[in-house]
């Protein structure tokens, strides 16, 4: 399975940086995400995670390091979390690290809401 790495592009502050590594099981989404075509960006990433979780039993570490995201991105984040929940329910291990900037109560509240919705436990970490 191929890794996915999407680096920053100059003048595209609204597109997150992505690093999904199938060898290590470490997946990171970071930066800002307020894309107009959210599906076009996230569906290949969601497909990758579905394939990885269906063909592997490696431990996954998923790092959410987003400083800002819009509502449509939030819906995609929930899709990632639901896939991870299914993976855990099959007896596999997934660690979810949710990063936030100090005093960013919105990002912390989002993490808490996601934990309630999914029943998952996150590690909350300051940048």
Every domain of the chain and the residues it spans: 25-126
**What is the per-residue burial (b if ≥16 Cβ within 10 Å, else e) of 12-21?**
eebbbbbbbe
* Whether CATH 1.10.10 fits 25-126: no
Q: Is the pLDDT of residue 120 over 80?
A: yes
Please report the pLDDT score of residue 60 as a whole number: 98
> Mean pLDDT across the chain, nearest whole number?
94
pLDDT tens for 43-70 read: 999 999 999 999 999 999 999 999 999 9
pTM over 0.85: yes
Q: Is the pLDDT of residue 98 over 70?
A: yes
């Amino acid at each position: 399975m191929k890794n996915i790495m999407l680096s920053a592009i100059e003048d595209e502050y609204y597109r997150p940086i992505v690093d999904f590594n199938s060898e290590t099981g470490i997946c990171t989404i970071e930066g800002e995400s307020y894309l107009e075509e959210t599906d076009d960006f996230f569906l290949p990433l969601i497909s990758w995670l579905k394939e990885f979780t269906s063909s592997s039993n490696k431990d996954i570490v998923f790092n959410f390091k987003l400083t800002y995201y819009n509502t449509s991105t939030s819906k995609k984040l929930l899709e990632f979390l639901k896939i991870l929940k299914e993976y855990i329910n099959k007896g596999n291990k997934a660690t979810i690290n949710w990063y936030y900037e100090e005093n960013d109560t919105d990002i912390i509240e989002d993490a808490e809401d996601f934990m309630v919705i999914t029943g998952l436990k996150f590690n909350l970490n300051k940048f």
